[in-house]
Every structure is written in C-alpha cells, then in structure tokens.
Structure 1
Amino acid sequence: MRSELQAELNIFKETVERFIEQEIAPFYHIWEQEKLVPKTVWTKMGQEGLLCCDLPEEYGGFGVSYDFNMVVAETLARAGYFALSCSVIVHADIAAHYVLNAGTEKQKQKYLPKMASGECIGAICMTEPSAGSDLQGLKTTAKPSGDGWLINGSKTFITNGQNSSLYIVAARTDLSVPTAKGLSLFLVDGDAEGFSRGQNLDKIGQHAADTSELFLDNVFVSEDDLLGEVDRGFVGLMTELPRERLSLACSATAHAEGALALALDYVKERKAFGQPLANLQDIRFKLAEMATKVTLHRVMIESYKLLLAEKELTTAQASMAKYSSTEMECEVVDTALQMFGGYGYMQEYAISRYYLDARVQRIYGGASEIMKEIIARDLIGKL
C-alpha cells in the first residue's frame, strides 16, 4: 500500500519539478528583488493542482493524503525556492485547514475552492508588535456590534500579507479572562472597510515572501465570519499546531537536503592543494555528518507523517520535529556554505540564499526555546 502511494508521489513530484523549471526558476530572482511572488503564479499552481491537494474533492482538492502537499513544499524547498515553499505551507497547510476543520459549510464553500485554485490566498494573523510566541500579550479586540463584531488592532510578520485576500485573524472577545479563554478567530476579507496592509517588511532572507504589517480599524465582520466558536479560538490554534509544525519540519529537512546536494556537487569540482576538495578528509567527514543528520530527520518526519494521517501526532512530537529539524537545517546549511569558501558569501551562488532563508525557521511557528519548553512540560508531566 505504501509502495503504491510512493509511486504516485514520485509521479506527482515530476509534475512539481517541471513546474519549477518552467514557471519559477527563470523568474525567481526578479521576485526576490520585488519582494513578491505575482498572484498569477498562484493561479498557475492552482491550475496544475499544486495547491491544497489534500482538501476533499467537493472543496476543490483531490482528496489525497497530506504527503502530496509536502511533495510541493519539500520540492520547492529542496530546489532553494524556500520563500515560496513557506508561503504555500501557510496557505495550503495552515490557513486552508483552519477553514476546513473549524469552518461552517457556507465558509468552506465560499473559500476553499478558490484557495485550491489559487484565486484566494490565505494568511494567518496571530503575531502582533508586542505579542509573538506569548499570546497572552495579544491586544487585538473584537467587540459585539449589531449582528457582528468590530475588530481593532494590528498584526505584524504576517506571511502572504500583501497577496492574501483571506485573513484569519485572532482577536480577544472576552477581556475579563486570560487570553487563552477569551480568544476567537475571524475570517476577514482583504477588501473589508477599515482593513489595510502596511509595508512589505524588509527581511534578511526569504525576500520573495511578502511578510507584512496589517491594521484593523473598526473592521466589521458578521456572525457568519466567526471561525469556530466564540472564545474557543485558542483550542482551534492548538488543534492545528501539530500539522503546522510538522510541515515546517518537512520543509526544513528538504531545505537541508538541497544544501547538502549543492555542497556535494561543489566539492567534487572545486580543487584545492592540487586535488578536489572532496578528497580532503575534513570535507569528507563533514559531508558524512551532514548526510547522517539529514537522513535521521528524514526518517523522523516520514514516520510522523504516518502519525498525522492517523491523527495520532502529539503536540510534543510535532514540537520535537520542528525544533530539531530547523536547528539541523541551519547547521547543515552553514556547513555547506563554509565548503564554498568566499564564493558561498556571494549572492550569485545559490547556497547564500539557502543560508539567509533558513535562519528564521528557528523563530517562526514557535521559536526553538518555546519548542523545548513544550517538550519539557510533556516529559515532566509524565514523571
């Protein structure tokens, strides 16, 4: 059964690779400079069936497994188009599944088919200028108004912030209780009155990803725009975290695999002291270490994909995957760049982009320090 799935995944991967070669590789450097992937690329991805593959067919997907989504994200990451990989994860593996799992039938019919086609790009709006990993510091509010709510506040570091037309906004609906007990989620359209996009932030890496500030000034949303139950938004967040963090672990592992492949090709060709770098024992040992780390994480995430499919992946396991994979990613990419010497510091060499794009992986989606705290609490609770 698994071998049949793998055969299908291999065929699908070839489709993704062809799309990258024809529609992404020739233009990616332009998108990096413009700090934005054109919306036409999203619709082309939708036409090729590369977005939201695992949504049920009635909502525009193919009803296939999570593995197909990861083929898209991982193939993009491995090839070095990491900003787009992460943007697609936020859209297809996070935002779409919030709507699928917490939305009403009306909400699903309204948004999901367009998310699968690439007509509607999704974003998750949690982080605020004063609240990142600590949601207790959330200041955005949603107050009852007539037959709906008025939302006020600001968000920052929002992936797909410029391109999106659907924003899933976390806001406090009960200020008399801790945030975890009084948080709600709302579906906000990008053209809503009072909603505005701030600057497209200037990052040190992932330049093609539109990461933005957002502002909500008395944005009215109806009761139909509430995602899930009032004051139960935190539960929704916790429910989706294992999938989100595993997806980031998958992209991290694939990104490291791509960096290793670049380094391997380079040291076979580059000569020093009259011989290929690959003949030097120090280089060979470092390659062995990198390959071992990458392979161990590949085994881990593949086993965790199976657990996710059976809805058995725990928050602690997903945190382990996210923490360990992103730390490994940065280590492997750094070592790979070192093998390129001074050329690794030049932007004309792809490894430099791998290096810059990888760093934020240890921060967003739950910083490494937060992941370790979650893992530790799970361990101590079992003593």
Structure 2
Amino acid sequence: MDQHLFLGEEHSILRDQLRRFVEERVKPNGDAWEEAGMVPRDILREMGDLGFLGVRYPETYGGSDMDTRATVVLAEELGKSTFSGFAITALVHTDMASVHIFNAGNEAQKAQYMPDIIAGRKITAVCVTEPGAGSDVQGMRSHARREGDHYILNGSKMFITNGVHADLYCVAAKTDREGPSSQSVTMFLVEKGVEGFSVSRNLDKHGWRSSDTAELSFQDVRVPVENVLGAEGQGFYAIMQNFQNERLVAAAAAVGESTAAIELTTAYVKERQAFGAPLWSKQAIRQRLAMLSARVTAARALVYQTAARDANGEDVVREVSMLKALCGELVNEVMYDCLQFHGGAGYLRGMTIERMARDARVQSIGGGATEVMLEEVAKRM
C-alpha cells in the first residue's frame, strides 16, 4: 500500500516507475533542456512508451484507464524532478490540453487523435489565455464565424505552453460575439501548419525555461466544421470543467516541488559549516524547515483526499480552489526560505534551488491566480 491512505498498489507501481524515469532520464539531462528552451520530443515519446501520457485514458486508445489519483501521483513525481519546465510540458499535454479532445471530441476525433496523443507522437496545447483575458475567460476576443463547412478563425493567444512545438491546438474562440460569453465560446481543434496560423513569439520567461511558451496568431484560419470539439457555444463550460483538473494537477506538482526543495535544503544545511558547526545545529533553521515540512505534508494529504473524492464523482470545486491558492502560495514560501538557507550560493545560476525558486513563482499566477481562487472559495463559504 502507498504511503497515502487513498492510494493502492497500482499507484505505488506508477510512482516507482516515475521516480526511476526522473532519476535516469530527467535529472541528468534537464540542464540541457533548460538551455535549449524545450523538452526533446524523443523524451516525450519515451514517456508515451512507458505509459505516462495516458494514465487516465482508456485502454482502447493505449491508456491505462486509471483515475484522478493516478494524475496527482504523476504530477507530484514530475514536480519532484526539480525541473518544472519539463514537468509542465508533460502535464499540459496529459491533463490540460488533450483532455479537451477526449472529453468533448466525438468518436471519430478520438479514434483519429488519441492513440498518437497517448503515445507522444503528437503533442497538444490548449489556447484560452489572451493578452487581455487570462483568468477572466469571458474577456476573450478571439472569434470565429461560420462560412459553409468551415469556420474562419481570427485572434491571438498568449502564454501558451507547448505553443511553439505542439502538433494539435485546442483553441477557444467566440462564435457569437453579441451573446453572453457563457454561451458563445466554442472549442476548435487546429493542426500545426494550417494557413494563417503562426507563432508570433517564443516567449522569454523568468522560469520554466525548458517549457516552450508562445504567443500565437490566427488570421483567417479556415477550420473545418468537423474540427469543432463538442457543440458550438459549449466551449466555456468545457473550459470551466477542465479548470478543476488543471488546478488539482498544479497543486500536486507544487507539493512535489516543495518536497524536493525541503529535502535538498535539509541535506545542504546538515553539511554546510558556519560558526564552527553545521547550519542544522541552528534551532531557527531546523525548526523553520520542520514547520514547512509539516505544512507541505498537510497540503499533500488534502491533494490526495480531493483526488479520491473526485474519482468518486463528488463535487470538489471548493477544495480544488483551496488547493490551487494554498499550494501556489506555499511553494513560493518554501522556495524563499530554502534559497535563504543556502546563503549566497543559493543566488547563483547553476544551483538547483535558484532554478526551483524561479520556476515556482508562476504557481500563484498560472491556471487561476491566487486572488481568483480565493474568490471561488469565498463564494462557497
């Protein structure tokens, strides 16, 4: 039985496989990916071969047919890699983008695309955020009008993870520019290379350096009617529904990042000598690390409890919103103190904790800013 009461033997096996992959394939190569600004496609295909890209999808398409609990195991272990740019590259593909195809796609769409998605032969991105519409999805300005058996798509998207190197893009746009936003957004499946679709910029980011992130442009892109995901006007509901999964994944990854930071910092202060003794001998330092460890352990328990409840079909919007706010803030607090306890060395490029601190900053912003999440919690109090 796994360390968590909510998990079983299959989750322990998955965790062991992920840990081995991270140790053997990610940690030795992650620095090179940071320099390159992307995760090589052969690594993602290898993850597909190992079954990591389809833990929630049916065996029919090559998946493992597991549930939400497997997702948080995946996210936590990738978070522990210390290379969060790599982690988000994979997690956007598995749990934030491809889910739109699986959840809303018809049988023909799923049969055509899901096997390649699960195998890592085709990588996905989800395109919702715009320069003027992030957490405020209803502020979206991208639009599409129908002309015969095509839609004509225009607009731009911002901060799109996998935006440069993806093959399939799940793009949200308004199909009724006058109607209420909740009934006017439609999701489209756009393939790389179609006329009028381009990468405007490969964004240069503070952290997540090995994750390619782009601004995208759509200028009179002709999207076949058969590439609509779900029904016209139902995209807003699809986005809101998947936000729950996305935010739970982000929380689990943040728990993994926090755990790894505390472990490496504890090891560091036990070795680092100052004033004639290891830093660990200083009560203030070891008690602060102990308290951070306690809080991360509590957050992890809520992550797994929420995943188990979600797997049972319960409404967990409140808990997921709590977790996104809690873990996004906590991981930044952990990184601040862990870098502090590394002293001047922690401020140097090339130190693991320096990279992790940069990577963590976005956790309280992306996927629903802390302030937005707290409002969601407050609505349900």
State the TM bucket, normalised to the shorter chain: over 0.9
Other-structure match for 1:58: 60
The answer to whether the aligner puts 1:359 opposite 2:354 as a matched pair is no
| Deviation of the 1:238 alpha carbon | 1.5
Q: Deviation digits for residues 312-361 of structure 1, max 9, x if unmatched?
A: 14322211110001101110111111110001111221011110000001
Q: Is the 8 A contact 2:105 2:230 kept in 1?
A: yes
SS at match of 2:135: coil
Other-structure match for 1:326: 328
Select 2:193's aligned residue among 177, 191, 194.
191
Q: Counterparts of 1:80-91 in structure 2 under 5 Å?
A: 80-91=82-93
- Identity percentage of aligned residues: 39
Q: Counterparts of 1:180-219 in structure 2 under 5 Å?
A: 180-219=182-221
| Deviation of the 1:283 alpha carbon | 0.7
What amino acid is the match of 1:66?
A: T
What amino acid is the match of 1:194?
A: G
TM (normalized to structure 1)? 0.96
| Deviation of the 1:8 alpha carbon | 2.7
Rounded to whole Å, the distance in 2 between the matches of 1:90 and 1:128 is 17
Select 1:139's aligned residue among 138, 141, 144.
141
Other-structure match for 2:110: 108
Rounded to whole Å, the distance in 2 between the matches of 1:288 and 1:26 is 29
SS at match of 1:144: strand
SS at match of 2:144: strand
Q: Deviation digits for residues 61-120 of structure 1, max 9, x if unmatched?
A: 011223333333221211202111112111101222222211100111111111110011
SS at match of 1:288: helix
What amino acid is the match of 1:41?
A: I
Rounded to whole Å, the distance in 1 between the matches of 2:380 and 2:109 is 35
Rounded to whole Å, the distance in 1 between the matches of 2:240 and 2:132 is 21
What amino acid is the match of 1:329?
A: V
The answer to whether the aligner puts 1:293 opposite 2:295 as a matched pair is yes
Q: Counterparts of 1:122-201 in structure 2 under 5 Å?
A: 122-201=124-203
Rounded to whole Å, the distance in 2 between the matches of 1:22 and 1:179 is 47
| Deviation of the 1:168 alpha carbon | 0.5
Structure 2: runs of 5 or more not aligned? none
Other-structure match for 1:276: 278
SS at match of 2:380: helix
Structure 1: runs of 5 or more not aligned? none
Q: Counterparts of 1:301-320 in structure 2 under 5 Å?
A: 301-320=303-322
| Deviation of the 1:257 alpha carbon | 0.5
Other-structure match for 1:98: 100
| Deviation of the 1:4 alpha carbon | 10
Rounded to whole Å, the distance in 2 between the matches of 1:116 and 1:108 is 11
| Deviation of the 1:5 alpha carbon | 4.8
Q: Deviation digits for residues 255-282 of structure 1, max 9, x if unmatched?
A: 1001100111011111111111111110
Q: Counterparts of 1:342-353 in structure 2 under 5 Å?
A: 342-353=344-355
Q: Is the 8 A contact 1:61 1:116 kept in 2?
A: yes
| Deviation of the 1:21 alpha carbon | 2.7
Rounded to whole Å, the distance in 1 between the matches of 2:149 and 2:96 is 28
Rounded to whole Å, the distance in 2 between the matches of 1:77 and 1:216 is 33
Rounded to whole Å, the distance in 1 between the matches of 2:351 and 2:315 is 38
Q: How many residues align?
A: 379
Q: Deviation digits for residues 148-186 of structure 1, max 9, x if unmatched?
A: 201001101000101211101000000111322211111
Rounded to whole Å, the distance in 2 between the matches of 1:244 and 1:76 is 15
Q: Is the 8 A contact 1:201 1:212 kept in 2?
A: yes
Q: Counterparts of 1:222-237 in structure 2 under 5 Å?
A: 222-237=224-239
Moved over 6 A (4+): 1-4
Rounded to whole Å, the distance in 1 between the matches of 2:321 and 2:152 is 34
| Deviation of the 1:285 alpha carbon | 1.4
What amino acid is the match of 1:69?
A: T
Which stretch shifts more, 294-303 or 62-71? 62-71
The RMSD of aligned alpha carbons is: 1.5
Rounded to whole Å, the distance in 2 between the matches of 1:331 and 1:87 is 24
| Deviation of the 1:59 alpha carbon | 1.6
What amino acid is the match of 2:110?
A: K
TM (normalized to structure 2)? 0.96
What amino acid is the match of 1:232?
A: Q
Other-structure match for 2:258: 256
